Amino acid sequence: MSSAAKYLPRYTVDDYRQWEGDWELWQGIPVAMSPSPFGKHQMVLVNLVSELRQALRSIDCDATALCEIDWVIADDTVVRPDAVVVCGGPPSGHVKSTPAIVAEIVSPATADRDRIHKKTLYHESAVGIYLILDPDTETVEAFQSTATGFQSLDASHELTFSLCDDCELRVDPKAFFNR
């Protein structure tokens, strides 16, 4: 550790709740969020959450698809994924239990965060399924958690995965990019 690193301030969720603007908190370090995304990103997000909700309803799964909600992982870590699926009903506040699915929609400004840093954080936090959607290439990277890391899933066709103990969810990744 460099001598400067030990002097970096460390923050908690209580500090985070006092801040103005859009931030995430990664192991005590504040991370500024990008400005509001553009139209194509928003369209993909709406499609993603709509498809997840429809798939959950079609199998009567007791789970909820949410977007842009804070997930408090630890006392020093808060993230705001683009979309999550939580088992059970919507939380009364921030998400505090590990989501069954976490999805991020990449942009040039967030690609490294989403593909490297958040991927590691989400695996360490026991997320079952991690989806990375790219609006520019209209592709989905899908990962399922294993003991040794995330395992890639084939997202070129229908995705099928189990969540919330008794639900088998099927979604068509191509539908995320329909106008």
Domains observed in the chain: 36-177 (3.90.1570.10)
For 103-150, what is each residue's pLDDT tens digit? 999 988 889 999 999 999 999 999 999 999 999 999 999 999 998 999
- Judge whether 151 and 143 are in contact, CB under 8 Å: yes
* Paired tokens of 159: 């995705």
pLDDT at 38 over 80: no
What predicted TM-score, i.e. pTM, was given to this entire model?
Answer: 0.89
Q: In sequence order, what DSSP letters do the residues of 107-155 get, joined into one string?
A: -TTTHHIIIIIHHHHHHHTT-SEEEEEETTTTEEEEEEEETTEEEEE--
**Rounded Cα distance, 117 and 119, in Å:** 5
Residue 1 CB coordination number (10 Å): 5
> CA distances (Å), 142 to each of 32, 35, 94, 161, in order?
26, 25, 25, 10
- Judge whether 45 and 105 are in contact, CB under 8 Å: yes
